[in-house]
Amino acid sequence: MSRSPSLPDIEDIHRYHRATRLTRRQIVKLAQKLESEPDDYAAHLSLAAYYHRKHWKGEENADYYLWLLTWLILNHPKNPIHSLLHTMHDGPQYYKARNLWFKQVRRYPNDVFVLDHAAQCCEMVDPHYSRKFWERARLLDPKCEEWPRNLSRLYMRKAQQANAGSRKYWIRKTKEAVLNAFDLTKDKDRWIVDLMRDLEDLAEKFNCVADYEEVRKKRLDYRLRNIRQKNSEKD
């Protein structure tokens, strides 16, 4: 798999954003439609997108949002739209959604879409599960840059929180993931360069000199190549 698994269908993205502008009358009509057509995907997604924003704002209807999300998890676990619908709240709704994803991972243990969605669901509350799922996705799909990108973020957070005995281990794990993501990323964006700089700062702070120098050299070599390329284009 060469494309990012977290890119929803363009029509689903439009449907998601249109849902944020739904009127109360439209919400009622969609809810009534689900009563007569309980398997209507578009209605489920539109309502889920609408109530997702309310859920993030801490408003009510969390149980109704969970009901909509449950249907999508059970019936469309591989759909990348889930990357837009996860919740970070550490509450009963989160644990119910998390357990549903655990069931889908057991059902589809080799599907990187399902592994990715389960990892995204768990990232803020249970990052150790996210690491497990993304590490498996990386083994299944080693050419996808997204796995080492996501893992480097988790490893770095772990390194920042670790005690002195394990910190160097997590810094090295972060370095390995960052360099892997850098090598796999064809169009180097600001995100990966900033991540390398953050790792340099962390490694230098805790005196991991070798790790600091290796990442810094890679970043500066890339920067130098860019400068040379731009100069040659001007000539």
Q: How many CA atoms lie within 13 A of 143 on its CB side?
A: 4
State the Cα–Cα distance between residues 137 and 199, nearest whole angstrom.
23
Highest mean pLDDT: which of 15-24, 91-100, 106-115, 211-220? 106-115
Per-residue pLDDT at 189: 65
Highest mean pLDDT: which of 47-56, 114-123, 193-202? 114-123
| pLDDT greater than 90 at residue 130 | yes
Per-residue pLDDT at 127: 94
Neighbours of 162 (CB within 10 A): 16
Q: Average model confidence (pLDDT) for the chain?
A: 86
- For residues 178 and 200, the answer to whether their CB atoms sit within 8 Å is no
Per-residue pLDDT at 5: 60
pLDDT digits (tens, 9 = 90+) for 56-99: 665 567 788 889 999 999 999 999 999 888 765 668 888 999 99
Per-residue pLDDT at 1: 42
Give the pLDDT band of residue 188 (cuts 50, 70, 90).
Answer: low
Sign of CA dihedral 192, 195, 201, 204: negative
Per-residue pLDDT at 12: 86
Average pLDDT for 114-126:
94
Per-residue pLDDT at 186: 75
State the Cα–Cα distance between residues 172 and 106, nearest whole angstrom.
30
Per-residue pLDDT at 112: 96
Per-residue pLDDT at 56: 60
Per-residue pLDDT at 233: 67
Give the pLDDT band of residue 3 (cuts 50, 70, 90).
Answer: very low
Max Cα distance, the chain (Å): 67
- For residues 175 and 204, the answer to whether their CB atoms sit within 8 Å is no
Listed range (12-16, 83-87, 92-96, 145-149) with the worst mean pLDDT: 83-87
Structure tokens at 210: 């070798």
Neighbours of 61 (CB within 10 A): 14
Give the pLDDT band of residue 2 (cuts 50, 70, 90).
Answer: very low
State the Cα–Cα distance between residues 69 and 50, nearest whole angstrom.
12
Nearest to 199 by CA among 222, 221, 223, 182: 182
